[in-house]
Amino acid sequence: MARMGIEALVRRKSTSRRAPGHEIYPYLLRNLAIEESNHVWALDITYIPMRRGFVYLVAVMDWASRKILSFRLSNTLTADFCVEALEEAIRRHGVPRIVNTDQGSQFTCVEFISVLKHHEIAISMDGKGCWRDNVFIERFWKTLKYQEVYLRAYETVSEARSSIARYMEFYNGRRPHRAHKGRTPDTAYFGKQVMKAAA
């Protein structure tokens, strides 16, 4: 299989692999009061099991409101689907002050970093192995999987995309969130939104 360049369709051990030579940025959120929308966005990648194989999901979350601003599915761990999700979030919701990610190669590559620098967004990265640095999106992955993904067995990527999109709409618009005293992420997001237009 190695000689032929093929591999088994099984869950990978990690979606966050560092790339030698890519610059790593400091974590900017420690002891930072984040109380308004578009102050900090977080991105992360998780795997989504299907009936046969799996795909990867990246999401952009507003830290203060927990609203999912955009997402993309991909069958590879290249950076393009992360860049697309970030650019869509910026087009639809303006520019945040800070974007926080882990140190995975998708988030440290030139293509991703250049979008942040173009919009003058401060870059923050979790410490190595410090999942708690991005705890809110990690909690969202658990919610998504137990309330949506594990209840289904997606046959195709398009089926997974449409079903997850429906869940995202429910999560953002109808699911009460304990952190907001029963308000939805949409209500929390639009209640304290600071808009900075994309350049």
Q: What is the pLDDT of residues 88-111, one digit of tens each?
A: 999 999 999 999 999 999 999 999
Angle at 150 between CA 146 and CA 155, to 5 degrees: 150
* CB contact at 8 A, 60 and 82: no
Q: Tens digits of per-residue pLDDT, 146-184?
A: 999 999 999 999 999 999 999 999 999 998 887 777 789
* CB contact at 8 A, 44 and 137: yes
Whether residue 198 has pLDDT greater than 80 = no
More confident site: 195 or 80: 80
Put the strands of the sheet holding 98-101 in their side by side order: 68-74, 54-62, 40-49, 98-101, 122-125
* CB contact at 8 A, 94 and 67: no
Give the closest residue to 52 by CA, choosing from 160, 164, 162.
160
- Give the pLDDT confidence score for residue 126 in this predicted structure: 82
**Cα–Cα distance between 1 and 66 in angstroms, integer?**
42
- Give the pLDDT confidence score for residue 173 in this predicted structure: 93
- What is residue 126's DSSP assignment? P
Structure tokens at 98: 């800070």
Q: Tens digits of per-residue pLDDT, 114-148?
A: 999 999 999 999 876 555 667 889 999 999 999 99
93: CB partners within 8 A, 6+ apart: 38, 62, 69, 195
Enumerate the domain spans of the chain: 41-186
Angle at 73 between CA 122 and CA 117, to 5 degrees: 20
Q: Tens digits of per-residue pLDDT, 6-55?
A: 655 545 545 555 555 668 899 999 889 998 999 999 999 999 999 999 99
- Give the pLDDT confidence score for residue 182 in this predicted structure: 78
Tell the CATH topology of 41-186.
Nucleotidyltransferase; domain 5 (3.30.420)
